[in-house]
């Protein structure tokens, strides 16, 4: 029953562990036709909160909140962005 939710978080939002024990996270969003995504995923340090908004085909804006000591990377459009604990504001122009 949880399979569709996991697929949405993992495939569409792209949230997945990047190291053993989920000590780091990687986020590889694939919004497809969706213009807005907002999710919260439980983690041992607290909730990982991700929100993305596409404006046309040229720009992706967003906010990623990583709880506690969690850090990671955002991968989008063949580029890599470092994520730190707390709020990370994202603005990517293709």
Report d(CA 54, CA 47) in Å as an integer.
Answer: 23
pLDDT tens-digit readout, 28-85: 998 888 899 999 999 999 999 999 998 876 788 999 999 999 999 999 989 999 999 9
CA distances for 51 relative to 8, 19, 65, 73, angstroms: 13, 23, 9, 15
The answer to whether the pTM exceeds 0.95 is no
């Amino acid at each position: 029953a949880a399979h569709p939710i996991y697929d949405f978080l993992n495939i569409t939002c792209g949230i997945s562990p990047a190291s053993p024990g989920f000590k780091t996270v990687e986020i590889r969003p694939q919004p497809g036709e969706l213009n807005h995504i907002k999710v919260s995923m439980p983690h041992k340090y607290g909730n990982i909160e991700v929100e993305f908004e596409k404006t046309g085909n040229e720009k992706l804006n967003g906010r990623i909140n990583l709880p506690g000591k969690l850090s990671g990377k955002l991968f989008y459009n063949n580029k890599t962005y470092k994520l730190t604990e707390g709020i990370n504001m994202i603005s990517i122009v293709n």
